[in-house]
Amino acid sequence: MPDQQTTHYIELPATNLEHTKAFFTEVFGWSFQDFGTEYSAFSSRGGNGGFYQSELCSDTRNGATLVVLFSDDLDRCLARVEQAGGIIVKPVFAFPGGRRFHFREPSGNELAVWSDR
């Protein structure tokens, strides 16, 4: 049974499920399970969720929630994001407690990666 009052699952839109799945598999090692042609659930070490087919995307410019991932090697992660076709929308910057960058994945969703190293 999941812990009470914790984030259990997150769902994001995807304009192109196949490209989005390939990106997250290549960069972050996520695994996917398809449920029909318009939904794919993911499993990762940090949590689970899914992508649903949509013409919309999650973007903080429109008030969307920002999903922030963790990496113990931020520079290597940034290079992997770029190599896989991600677009860096905020280069690495420092904040109290660490550094992070923001990127858009192939379906246009904005996410961030942070590190305390």
User: What is the mean predicted confidence (pLDDT) over 31-46?
Assistant: 94
Answer whether residue 39 is part of any domain.
Answer: yes
Position 46 pLDDT exceeds 70: yes
Instruction: Kindly tell me the burial class for residue 96, based on how many C-beta atoms sit within 10 Å of its own C-beta (0-12, 13-18, 19 or more).
Output: exposed
**Rounded to whole angstroms, how far apart are CA atoms 75 and 67?**
19
**Rounded to whole angstroms, how far apart are CA atoms 74 and 17?**
26
The pTM assigned to this predicted structure is 0.93
Domains of the chain: total: 1
| SS3 call for 112 | strand
Answer whether residue 2 is part of any domain.
Answer: no
| SS3 call for 109 | coil
**Containing structural domain, residue 57:** 9-115
Position 2 confidence tier, pLDDT thresholds 50, 70, 90: low
Top-confidence residue, 7 or 63: 63
Answer whether residue 4 is part of any domain.
Answer: no
**Rounded to whole angstroms, how far apart are CA atoms 32 and 23?**
12
Answer whether residue 82 is part of any domain.
Answer: yes
